Structure 1
Amino acid sequence: GTLIKTKSGKVFPTDCSDWQLLYESIPAELKKLHSDGHKIVIFTNQKGIQVAKVDRTEFRKKIEAIVAKMGVPIQAFVSVAGGMYRKPCIGMWEELRERNEGVEIKLEENHSYADRFFAANVGIPFKTPEEFFGKSKEQEPWGPPVFDPKLLFAEGITQLEPADAPLKSEKQEIIVMVGFPGSGKSTFARMLAEQNGRYVAVASETSTACRCFVMKCGMEHAQHNIRYRTLTAGAGEISSMVLRIHKGKYVEPTKEEGFQQIVHVNFQPKFEEKHLENLYKMYLIE
């Protein structure tokens, strides 16, 4: 975390007393911020409380002990489940704004990819503990996210590749859909084809043309879509293991399998309400 680390040296604390300051200078830095008129806020994901791996009362005592160590007023928001309150989603940020109506909100530090994305989603600067408390001049190296949902809205992206591929054929045909769970197959067409060979064989026997539509949607994009669907429609989560298995076994379709044409489909989300579009454009996976 930003403020503390484990005393045990383990990645995760052994219990709620297993913590120490990340930097001894942190209380002084926070006191200076407080005296300059800043409000200090902690946002933390603690799903372990929901699944009973962390005792709620003991964790509350831990937060109180941390606040006492800092010696300044601190407001803490703790997400104990999934949904809109878990970072990088901005539910806790919106709760902060609601509880501090009329107060200008500016804050600068967090730590982890979820926190980087959380900062990006709410539009605030990001600094690592090393940069903010340790006064390091070196920025932590990290690449851009594998999937950035905002790039889907760039101009000039056609729905199909090749662009002149017909969406519907004038003649009867069989279409095989290929893509990750959550890649938009059901939205694009009301059919799922899980066994290519079976449908190609049927097409061959009946002299029916068979085209393959491949969803241009990587694993991270599929995770994003599944997360969005869970947040907005209450759909169940699909585990990352399922997606990794799909990725490991996936073989790109070829015409040699008997397809008349292979068409790649760009994911083009449509929204009935602006707030749903705004949510989709945020980073939703950790």
Structure 2
Amino acid sequence: MWDKLVESENGSIGIERSESFYVGDAAGRTKNNNRPKSDHSCVDRLFAMNLGLKFYTPEQFFFPNSSQIEEDFLLPKFNPLQLTENSSDFNEFEPENVKIPNSSQELILLVGPPACGKSTFSQKYKDNYVIINQDELKTWQNCFDKCKKVLENGSSVIIDNTNRGLDIRITIRDSNCGGGAKYCDLAKSLNIPCRCFIFDCSLAHSLHNNEYRKIVDENGGDEAHKNINEVVIKTFFAGYKEPKLEEGFDEIVKIRFKPDFQNEQHRRIYGMYLIGSVNM
């Protein structure tokens, strides 16, 4: 919206950002003696912060001598700017000495919410692993059947699905299945190790990534992710069960989200607050 204003909707008049300001009442202010309710959100304050503008609440702007001129406020827990500034300062793997790609055949099961970087991660290793994804194959059963076939043919596999709970990770619930087959059991029946890679990404971070993806996907070409919304992401977290070695994994690896930007414009957008809620 701001870029549109600057580029074409201000009559070719230059904008002095340092002299500009934004006034809004969605400021993330908390309840106090003068304010019986907290603000419904902090999107106005975040809008100003994203643009580097001075921000005022209506009370601060219109009644500068009011007792409400300075009030406590909350910002979202997830600060995307920290990731853009420190993205090169950490190893994305835990433990740090993780070996991938593996020289021997294996099965890797990815676990993580939508918009946490699973598919981007998988594509880095597409020359070494067959990537199996339910967005393409449509059903859990199809994913399992293809995994079995690929492993039997001697190739390694990455299962690029959310795999949020035990019922999804371990037991096939499809009514057409003969019952009870497990990814880990499948790997062990073929004497192939099975590792689990967990993507360490909070609800707020996932929602941010999803909004960022919508913004930078200018041509609308990301068909696999076009229907992912807040409800889909929250549903993952509502049913999430953290994987354990007891499920049959040979190793569990945690992956920290490490952004990789195509250009400086994408980095700038990612560093903005894109989600206005302070409750996540």
Which residue pairs with 2:229 in the alignment? 239
AA of the residue aligned to 2:75: P
Which structure carries more relative contact order (alpha carbon 8 Å, separation 6+)? 2
The 2-side partners of 1:261 and 1:165 are apart by 10
Shift, 1:251, TM fit? 0.7
In the alignment, structure 2 segments of 5+ residues that lack a partner are: 27-41, 123-130, 133-159, 171-181
The 2-side partners of 1:141 and 1:215 are apart by 34
Which residue pairs with 2:24 in the alignment? 110
Which residue pairs with 1:78 in the alignment? none
Does the 8 A contact of 1:214 with 1:263 survive in 2?
Answer: yes
4+ runs deviating over 6 angstroms: none
Secondary structure, counterpart of 2:234 in structure 1:
helix
Shift, 1:211, TM fit? 0.9
The 1-side partners of 2:90 and 2:10 are apart by 38
Give TM-score, length-normalised by structure 2: 0.64
Shift, 1:97, TM fit? 7.7
Give TM-score, length-normalised by structure 1: 0.63
Which residue pairs with 2:31 in the alignment? none
CA gap 1:103/1:279 in 2 versus in 1, 3 angstroms: closer
* Structure 1 stretch displaced more, 196-205 or 247-256: 196-205
Output aligned runs, 1:1-286, within 5 Å: 85=1, 90-91=2-3, 94=6, 98-99=10-11, 101-105=13-17, 106-112=20-26, 113-134=42-63, 135-137=66-68, 139-153=70-84, 154=86, 155-189=88-122, 190-191=131-132, 192-193=160-161, 194=163, 195-197=168-170, 198-233=182-217, 234=220, 235=222, 236-286=226-276
In the alignment, structure 1 segments of 5+ residues that lack a partner are: 1-84
* Aligned length, in residue pairs: 198
Secondary structure, counterpart of 2:184 in structure 1:
helix
* Structure 1 stretch displaced more, 170-179 or 145-154: 145-154
RMSD, matched Cα: 2.2
Does the 8 A contact of 1:226 with 1:237 survive in 2?
Answer: no
Does the 8 A contact of 1:230 with 1:237 survive in 2?
Answer: no
Identity %: 33
Does the 8 A contact of 2:21 with 2:56 survive in 1?
Answer: no
Does the 8 A contact of 1:183 with 1:217 survive in 2?
Answer: yes
